[in-house]
Structure 1
Amino acid sequence: MWSRRSRDILNAIFRGGASRQRGRKLGAFSVLLSLFAASPALAQSANGSSVIVGSFSQGSLSDWRTRSFKGETRYEFVRDPDLGSTVLAATTDGAASGRYRKIKIDLTKTPFLNWSWKVTKIFPGIDENVKSGDDFPARIYVVIERGPLGMRSLALNYVWASQHRTGSEWPSPYTAQVRMMAIDSGPKGLDTWVRHKRNLREDLGRIFGEEINEIDAVAIMTDADDHKGRAQSYYGDIWFSPE
């Protein structure tokens, strides 16, 4: 029998925040069991090449799964006029659902996480340090599986913050096993594409205080359920590279 605390931790590993409704907790608990029950094959990079995780410019969500927590964030492919290419649009109206992909990445070979996103609005007035403010117009995060059924798993969320300043790091209001990092913040850069490259291996080592050489899953989410807001954001391709 799993305790409520166990369910909360598992849910927080996937979302960065546990549901306040029992049904949502149990649903997230079930999908997390499937997320960690079967370890994915290690994604190899040939001759030091990159590992593609999300080929959104190709209109592909192959191997990406959906998890709904409250309502549905709508994910759909659109043509972005600024880029002249296909991107993944995420639209939420008081809802929270994400997309995730189980994939093992060897960070000793491809430690750099690359992505781009465009955010059209932030959430003024929320407190991101508490559960009622655990909403972000855009987030991309990685999961490191630990322990039986992922009970000691870790997660790092890179987010576009509304409150915290760029570069801020803080624990999830639900569990210290999930850490947040504000990669972008506030209104600066809204409605424009922002590209990022992070040395994930270094970030994980600094934040969790240990050497982490593999991750087990990558996820994205645009959510506004806790404060019942609205948001529309866009995601470009996601990949890991040697440098």
Structure 2
Amino acid sequence: MSMELSVQGKNAIVTGAAGNIGEACVRALAAAGANVLVADMDAAAAERTAEKLQKEYPDVKLVPQVCDVTNKASVDAMVSAALEAFGRIDILNNIAGMSTKVDFLEMPEDIYDQMMDVNAKGTFLVDQAVLKAMIPNRSGKIVNMSSMSGKEGYPTNVAYSASKFAVTGMTQAIAKYAAPYNINVNCVCPGIVHTHIWDRLLDDVTKAGGDADAYWKERISAIPLKRPQTAEDIAHMFLYLSSPFADNMTGQSINVTGGLILH
């Protein structure tokens, strides 16, 4: 029996939708037939992304929505907006996140708190709110954003590693909680993707007196396939995990790292 990788007629939320990977996920879902709530903390950027992609995919509905994933009221408003726009929620691609590069011994407490707030608490709040909306339907696909730093700790990103290990662990726990309701919960662990987050990381290297270009080349050279990952690479995995192809997968943390992480 053949099966097409399609989410035709499904209704999705993408957080962090105005970023590189977020926009790629919106595009992938729309191309596969889903309506998408395009959520981002930057309201203007969410509107621009939705308007741009709506022109490319006129047969689906793309709705912009402002959302601060660290704020429960904002998250609840996002879910309410999705239900109002679409009637139900079938898919969540929970992309919103942040990173920085700070020496561990020099890292201020507020940087650690901010990293945990956005990456860990944000995942908790969004998954919780969306799961409440999915349970009555007894179906759904939740895909969180972890990282290779959620599989292996990196000394240059101690707080980020902690926050992404939290996402990986939460994904496993929520998957077990959601399984009786026929809801799949997985996460994607990207490797080195040149996003706005990486731009900021390279800026941090320069500010610390380092050679950002040399640092980037060094990181790429460690990848077995010898090339960075793209936003589209990550979006393809998000789409797979959001589709019927992944009906019997839950609690998984899938690496898209070019072989850099193998567990």
In terms of fraction of residues, the more helix-rich structure is 2
Select the structure with the greater relative contact order (CA < 8 A; seq sep ≥ 6).
Answer: 1
Q: Same fold (TM over 0.5)?
A: no
TM-score normalised by length of structure 1: 0.25
Which of 1 and 2 has greater Rg? 2
Structure having the larger proportion of residues in strand: 1
